[in-house]
Amino acid sequence: MLVLGSSEVEALLDADALIDALASAMADLSAGRASAPDRVAALVPGRDGLLAAMPGHVPSAGVLMSKLVSLFPHNAGTRLPTHQALIVAFDPETGEPAGLLDGTVITTARTAACSALSARLLARQDATDLAVLGTGVQARAHAHAMCRVRPIRRIRVAGRDPARAAALADELSGGLDAEVRAVATYAEALDGADIAAAATHTLEPVVRRPWLSPGVHVTSVGYNPDGREVDDATVAEALVCVESRQAALAPFPAGSNDLLQPIRDGVITAAHAGTELGELVARTRPGRTSPDQITLYKSVGVAVQDAAAAALVLTAARERGAGREIALG
Protein backbone atom coordinates (compact mmCIF):
# COMPACT_ATOMS: atom_id res chain seq x y z
CA MET A 1 0.00 0.00 0.00
CA LEU A 2 1.36 3.39 -1.02
CA VAL A 3 1.49 6.02 1.75
CA LEU A 4 1.59 9.74 0.90
CA GLY A 5 1.87 12.61 3.37
CA SER A 6 0.48 16.11 3.06
CA SER A 7 3.54 17.70 1.42
CA GLU A 8 3.70 14.90 -1.14
CA VAL A 9 -0.02 15.17 -1.93
CA GLU A 10 0.28 18.92 -2.36
CA ALA A 11 3.25 18.57 -4.72
CA LEU A 12 1.54 15.89 -6.82
CA LEU A 13 -1.91 17.48 -7.19
CA ASP A 14 -2.13 19.65 -10.31
CA ALA A 15 -4.80 22.34 -9.85
CA ASP A 16 -5.84 22.67 -13.50
CA ALA A 17 -5.98 18.90 -14.01
CA LEU A 18 -8.10 18.67 -10.87
CA ILE A 19 -10.76 21.04 -12.22
CA ASP A 20 -10.99 18.95 -15.40
CA ALA A 21 -11.10 15.68 -13.45
CA LEU A 22 -13.89 17.03 -11.25
CA ALA A 23 -15.92 17.92 -14.34
CA SER A 24 -15.76 14.28 -15.46
CA ALA A 25 -16.52 12.95 -11.98
CA MET A 26 -19.53 15.23 -11.50
CA ALA A 27 -20.89 14.23 -14.92
CA ASP A 28 -20.47 10.57 -13.95
CA LEU A 29 -22.32 11.16 -10.68
CA SER A 30 -25.27 12.90 -12.34
CA ALA A 31 -25.47 10.17 -14.99
CA GLY A 32 -25.49 7.40 -12.38
CA ARG A 33 -22.13 5.99 -13.41
CA ALA A 34 -20.45 6.83 -10.08
CA SER A 35 -21.43 5.91 -6.55
CA ALA A 36 -21.33 8.29 -3.56
CA PRO A 37 -23.68 7.45 -0.67
CA ASP A 38 -24.67 10.22 1.73
CA ARG A 39 -22.03 10.75 4.38
CA VAL A 40 -22.57 9.49 7.90
CA ALA A 41 -21.00 10.95 11.03
CA ALA A 42 -20.23 10.23 14.65
CA LEU A 43 -20.82 13.32 16.78
CA VAL A 44 -18.52 14.77 19.46
CA PRO A 45 -20.92 17.09 21.32
CA GLY A 46 -18.38 18.32 23.86
CA ARG A 47 -16.35 19.90 21.06
CA ASP A 48 -19.20 20.58 18.59
CA GLY A 49 -17.27 18.21 16.36
CA LEU A 50 -17.91 15.23 14.16
CA LEU A 51 -16.12 12.45 12.30
CA ALA A 52 -17.67 11.70 8.92
CA ALA A 53 -17.20 8.78 6.53
CA MET A 54 -17.49 9.37 2.77
CA PRO A 55 -17.06 6.33 0.46
CA GLY A 56 -16.99 6.77 -3.29
CA HIS A 57 -16.44 4.87 -6.53
CA VAL A 58 -15.69 6.52 -9.89
CA PRO A 59 -15.20 3.71 -12.44
CA SER A 60 -14.04 6.06 -15.21
CA ALA A 61 -11.18 7.23 -12.97
CA GLY A 62 -10.41 3.69 -11.80
CA VAL A 63 -10.75 4.61 -8.13
CA LEU A 64 -12.56 3.19 -5.11
CA MET A 65 -11.94 5.02 -1.87
CA SER A 66 -13.28 6.28 1.40
CA LYS A 67 -12.48 9.48 3.23
CA LEU A 68 -12.60 9.95 6.97
CA VAL A 69 -12.90 13.64 7.78
CA SER A 70 -13.18 15.37 11.14
CA LEU A 71 -14.78 18.78 11.60
CA PHE A 72 -13.79 20.56 14.81
CA PRO A 73 -14.87 24.20 14.48
CA HIS A 74 -13.16 25.29 17.68
CA ASN A 75 -9.80 24.70 15.95
CA ALA A 76 -10.37 27.96 14.05
CA GLY A 77 -7.60 30.39 14.90
CA THR A 78 -5.31 27.66 16.27
CA ARG A 79 -2.45 25.76 14.66
CA LEU A 80 -4.88 23.01 13.65
CA PRO A 81 -7.31 23.24 10.73
CA THR A 82 -11.04 22.85 11.35
CA HIS A 83 -11.15 19.99 8.80
CA GLN A 84 -8.66 17.09 8.95
CA ALA A 85 -8.88 13.97 6.83
CA LEU A 86 -7.43 10.68 5.66
CA ILE A 87 -8.23 8.87 2.43
CA VAL A 88 -7.90 5.13 1.90
CA ALA A 89 -7.90 3.95 -1.71
CA PHE A 90 -8.71 0.37 -2.72
CA ASP A 91 -8.11 -1.60 -5.89
CA PRO A 92 -11.50 -1.47 -7.66
CA GLU A 93 -10.88 -4.92 -9.18
CA THR A 94 -10.00 -6.81 -5.99
CA GLY A 95 -10.86 -4.55 -3.05
CA GLU A 96 -7.25 -4.67 -1.84
CA PRO A 97 -6.09 -1.54 0.05
CA ALA A 98 -3.89 0.37 -2.39
CA GLY A 99 -3.13 3.74 -0.88
CA LEU A 100 -3.26 5.84 2.29
CA LEU A 101 -3.24 9.58 1.63
CA ASP A 102 -3.42 12.74 3.66
CA GLY A 103 -6.94 13.97 2.94
CA THR A 104 -6.74 17.45 4.42
CA VAL A 105 -4.91 18.89 1.43
CA ILE A 106 -7.24 17.05 -0.94
CA THR A 107 -10.35 18.33 0.85
CA THR A 108 -9.17 21.92 0.58
CA ALA A 109 -8.09 21.59 -3.04
CA ARG A 110 -11.10 19.71 -4.38
CA THR A 111 -13.58 22.01 -2.62
CA ALA A 112 -12.05 25.13 -4.15
CA ALA A 113 -11.56 23.45 -7.52
CA CYS A 114 -15.22 22.43 -7.70
CA SER A 115 -16.24 26.00 -6.90
CA ALA A 116 -13.96 27.08 -9.74
CA LEU A 117 -15.65 24.51 -11.97
CA SER A 118 -19.02 26.04 -11.09
CA ALA A 119 -17.63 29.47 -12.02
CA ARG A 120 -16.31 28.11 -15.30
CA LEU A 121 -19.81 26.84 -16.05
CA LEU A 122 -21.92 29.70 -14.66
CA ALA A 123 -19.96 32.93 -14.11
CA ARG A 124 -19.88 35.55 -16.83
CA GLN A 125 -16.88 35.27 -19.13
CA ASP A 126 -15.83 38.83 -18.30
CA ALA A 127 -15.93 38.36 -14.50
CA THR A 128 -13.06 40.42 -13.07
CA ASP A 129 -14.15 41.31 -9.51
CA LEU A 130 -14.00 38.64 -6.79
CA ALA A 131 -15.34 38.87 -3.24
CA VAL A 132 -13.78 36.43 -0.77
CA LEU A 133 -15.87 35.98 2.37
CA GLY A 134 -13.82 34.29 5.07
CA THR A 135 -10.16 34.23 6.04
CA GLY A 136 -9.31 30.54 6.46
CA VAL A 137 -7.72 27.90 4.26
CA GLN A 138 -10.77 27.65 2.01
CA ALA A 139 -10.89 31.41 1.47
CA ARG A 140 -7.24 31.32 0.38
CA ALA A 141 -7.77 28.29 -1.86
CA HIS A 142 -10.84 29.82 -3.49
CA ALA A 143 -9.01 33.04 -4.38
CA HIS A 144 -6.34 31.06 -6.20
CA ALA A 145 -8.81 28.67 -7.87
CA MET A 146 -11.10 31.41 -9.20
CA CYS A 147 -8.15 33.14 -10.85
CA ARG A 148 -7.62 29.96 -12.90
CA VAL A 149 -11.01 30.11 -14.60
CA ARG A 150 -11.81 33.82 -14.93
CA PRO A 151 -9.69 36.98 -15.57
CA ILE A 152 -9.85 38.23 -11.97
CA ARG A 153 -8.29 41.67 -11.56
CA ARG A 154 -9.68 42.86 -8.21
CA ILE A 155 -10.23 40.88 -5.00
CA ARG A 156 -11.86 42.13 -1.81
CA VAL A 157 -11.49 40.06 1.37
CA ALA A 158 -13.82 40.30 4.37
CA GLY A 159 -14.08 38.29 7.57
CA ARG A 160 -15.05 38.44 11.22
CA ASP A 161 -11.50 39.39 12.23
CA PRO A 162 -10.18 42.48 10.39
CA ALA A 163 -6.58 41.56 11.22
CA ARG A 164 -6.93 38.14 9.62
CA ALA A 165 -8.64 39.66 6.57
CA ALA A 166 -5.76 42.10 6.19
CA ALA A 167 -3.19 39.31 6.58
CA LEU A 168 -4.89 37.18 3.93
CA ALA A 169 -5.14 40.14 1.55
CA ASP A 170 -1.41 40.81 1.97
CA GLU A 171 -0.61 37.15 1.34
CA LEU A 172 -2.78 36.98 -1.79
CA SER A 173 -1.26 40.20 -3.12
CA GLY A 174 2.10 38.49 -3.25
CA GLY A 175 0.86 35.41 -5.09
CA LEU A 176 -1.82 36.60 -7.51
CA ASP A 177 -1.82 38.98 -10.45
CA ALA A 178 -4.68 41.04 -9.03
CA GLU A 179 -5.31 44.06 -6.84
CA VAL A 180 -6.20 42.62 -3.42
CA ARG A 181 -7.47 44.55 -0.40
CA ALA A 182 -9.23 43.83 2.84
CA VAL A 183 -12.53 45.58 3.55
CA ALA A 184 -14.49 46.09 6.73
CA THR A 185 -17.76 44.32 5.92
CA TYR A 186 -19.18 41.51 3.83
CA ALA A 187 -21.48 44.05 2.14
CA GLU A 188 -18.47 46.11 1.04
CA ALA A 189 -16.73 43.02 -0.32
CA LEU A 190 -19.80 42.03 -2.31
CA ASP A 191 -20.46 45.49 -3.75
CA GLY A 192 -19.80 45.18 -7.49
CA ALA A 193 -18.50 41.61 -7.30
CA ASP A 194 -18.89 39.38 -10.37
CA ILE A 195 -18.04 36.27 -8.31
CA ALA A 196 -18.50 35.83 -4.57
CA ALA A 197 -16.77 32.97 -2.77
CA ALA A 198 -18.19 32.34 0.71
CA ALA A 199 -16.17 30.07 2.98
CA THR A 200 -17.21 30.82 6.55
CA HIS A 201 -18.49 29.13 9.70
CA THR A 202 -21.20 31.73 10.17
CA LEU A 203 -24.51 31.47 12.01
CA GLU A 204 -26.15 34.31 10.06
CA PRO A 205 -26.02 34.76 6.28
CA VAL A 206 -23.00 36.62 4.93
CA VAL A 207 -24.51 36.67 1.42
CA ARG A 208 -27.63 38.84 1.32
CA ARG A 209 -29.61 39.79 -1.77
CA PRO A 210 -29.44 43.60 -1.28
CA TRP A 211 -25.65 43.37 -1.29
CA LEU A 212 -25.42 41.54 -4.63
CA SER A 213 -24.89 43.03 -8.08
CA PRO A 214 -26.77 41.80 -11.17
CA GLY A 215 -25.18 38.76 -12.75
CA VAL A 216 -23.05 37.70 -9.80
CA HIS A 217 -22.09 34.06 -9.40
CA VAL A 218 -22.03 32.99 -5.74
CA THR A 219 -20.22 29.94 -4.40
CA SER A 220 -21.01 28.82 -0.86
CA VAL A 221 -18.96 26.08 0.80
CA GLY A 222 -19.19 27.07 4.47
CA TYR A 223 -20.80 24.75 6.97
CA ASN A 224 -22.32 25.29 10.38
CA PRO A 225 -24.97 22.84 11.61
CA ASP A 226 -26.74 25.73 13.33
CA GLY A 227 -26.28 28.40 10.64
CA ARG A 228 -26.23 29.27 6.98
CA GLU A 229 -24.24 31.46 4.57
CA VAL A 230 -26.90 32.59 2.07
CA ASP A 231 -30.19 34.37 2.77
CA ASP A 232 -33.64 33.31 1.56
CA ALA A 233 -33.95 36.08 -1.02
CA THR A 234 -30.75 35.10 -2.79
CA VAL A 235 -31.65 31.42 -2.81
CA ALA A 236 -35.16 32.17 -4.13
CA GLU A 237 -33.98 34.42 -6.96
CA ALA A 238 -30.89 32.52 -8.09
CA LEU A 239 -30.39 29.62 -10.44
CA VAL A 240 -29.28 27.11 -7.80
CA CYS A 241 -26.67 24.49 -8.65
CA VAL A 242 -25.57 21.60 -6.41
CA GLU A 243 -23.23 18.63 -6.64
CA SER A 244 -26.05 16.17 -5.99
CA ARG A 245 -29.72 16.85 -5.33
CA GLN A 246 -29.83 13.82 -3.05
CA ALA A 247 -26.87 14.97 -0.97
CA ALA A 248 -27.86 18.64 -0.80
CA LEU A 249 -31.38 17.84 0.43
CA ALA A 250 -30.45 14.94 2.73
CA PRO A 251 -30.80 15.27 6.52
CA PHE A 252 -27.86 16.20 8.75
CA PRO A 253 -24.94 15.61 8.41
CA ALA A 254 -25.14 15.49 4.61
CA GLY A 255 -27.47 18.29 3.53
CA SER A 256 -27.41 22.08 3.38
CA ASN A 257 -29.29 24.39 5.74
CA ASP A 258 -29.10 27.05 3.03
CA LEU A 259 -31.54 24.97 1.01
CA LEU A 260 -33.37 22.86 3.59
CA GLN A 261 -34.46 25.81 5.72
CA PRO A 262 -36.14 27.81 2.91
CA ILE A 263 -37.79 24.59 1.72
CA ARG A 264 -39.20 23.97 5.23
CA ASP A 265 -40.33 27.60 5.41
CA GLY A 266 -42.10 27.42 2.04
CA VAL A 267 -39.80 29.99 0.41
CA ILE A 268 -38.77 27.53 -2.33
CA THR A 269 -39.61 23.97 -3.29
CA ALA A 270 -37.14 21.12 -3.55
CA ALA A 271 -37.34 21.45 -7.33
CA HIS A 272 -35.68 24.87 -7.07
CA ALA A 273 -32.42 23.14 -6.09
CA GLY A 274 -32.70 21.12 -9.24
CA THR A 275 -29.53 21.69 -11.29
CA GLU A 276 -26.49 19.49 -10.72
CA LEU A 277 -22.97 20.43 -11.76
CA GLY A 278 -22.70 17.23 -13.73
CA GLU A 279 -25.79 18.16 -15.75
CA LEU A 280 -24.19 21.48 -16.65
CA VAL A 281 -21.00 19.68 -17.69
CA ALA A 282 -22.99 17.28 -19.87
CA ARG A 283 -25.28 20.11 -21.04
CA THR A 284 -28.41 18.17 -20.19
CA ARG A 285 -29.69 21.22 -18.27
CA PRO A 286 -29.34 24.90 -19.14
CA GLY A 287 -27.03 27.18 -17.20
CA ARG A 288 -26.98 30.96 -17.16
CA THR A 289 -29.69 32.42 -19.37
CA SER A 290 -28.88 36.15 -19.16
CA PRO A 291 -25.99 38.42 -18.12
CA ASP A 292 -27.97 39.75 -15.15
CA GLN A 293 -29.06 36.38 -13.78
CA ILE A 294 -27.79 35.54 -10.30
CA THR A 295 -26.36 32.03 -10.02
CA LEU A 296 -25.57 30.10 -6.83
CA TYR A 297 -23.45 26.99 -6.34
CA LYS A 298 -24.20 25.50 -2.93
CA SER A 299 -21.65 22.85 -2.02
CA VAL A 300 -22.00 20.15 0.61
CA GLY A 301 -19.09 18.04 -0.62
CA VAL A 302 -19.45 14.58 -2.16
CA ALA A 303 -17.05 11.66 -2.20
CA VAL A 304 -16.57 11.53 -5.97
CA GLN A 305 -14.67 14.82 -5.63
CA ASP A 306 -12.23 13.21 -3.23
CA ALA A 307 -12.04 10.14 -5.46
CA ALA A 308 -11.15 12.20 -8.54
CA ALA A 309 -8.44 14.04 -6.63
CA ALA A 310 -7.06 10.85 -5.06
CA ALA A 311 -6.86 9.19 -8.48
CA LEU A 312 -4.77 12.09 -9.83
CA VAL A 313 -2.42 11.97 -6.85
CA LEU A 314 -1.94 8.19 -6.94
CA THR A 315 -1.28 8.18 -10.68
CA ALA A 316 1.28 10.99 -10.37
CA ALA A 317 2.92 9.28 -7.37
CA ARG A 318 3.41 6.04 -9.26
CA GLU A 319 4.79 7.86 -12.30
CA ARG A 320 7.29 9.80 -10.17
CA GLY A 321 8.11 7.12 -7.62
CA ALA A 322 6.78 9.22 -4.75
CA GLY A 323 5.61 7.96 -1.38
CA ARG A 324 6.56 4.75 0.36
CA GLU A 325 5.14 1.25 0.11
CA ILE A 326 4.12 -0.58 3.27
CA ALA A 327 2.83 -4.11 3.72
CA LEU A 328 -0.20 -4.64 5.93
CA GLY A 329 -0.05 -8.40 6.01
C-alpha–C-alpha distance, residues 105 and 164, integer Å: 21
Per residue in 65-100, pLDDT (tens digit) is: 999 999 998 898 788 988 899 999 999 999 999 999
Per residue in 18-69, pLDDT (tens digit) is: 999 999 999 999 999 999 999 999 999 999 999 999 999 999 999 999 999 9
pLDDT at 329 over 80: no
Residues 201 and 76 sit within 8 Å (Cβ to Cβ): yes
Residues 246 and 278 sit within 8 Å (Cβ to Cβ): no
C-alpha–C-alpha distance, residues 253 and 246, integer Å: 13
pLDDT at 171 over 90: yes
pLDDT at 322 over 80: yes
253 sits in the region (left: phi over 0; alpha: psi -120 to 50; else beta) called alpha
The whole-number pLDDT of residue 225 equals 84
Domains and CATH numbers, the chain: 2-107+304-325 (3.30.1780.10), 124-301 (3.40.50.720)
The whole-number pLDDT of residue 311 equals 97
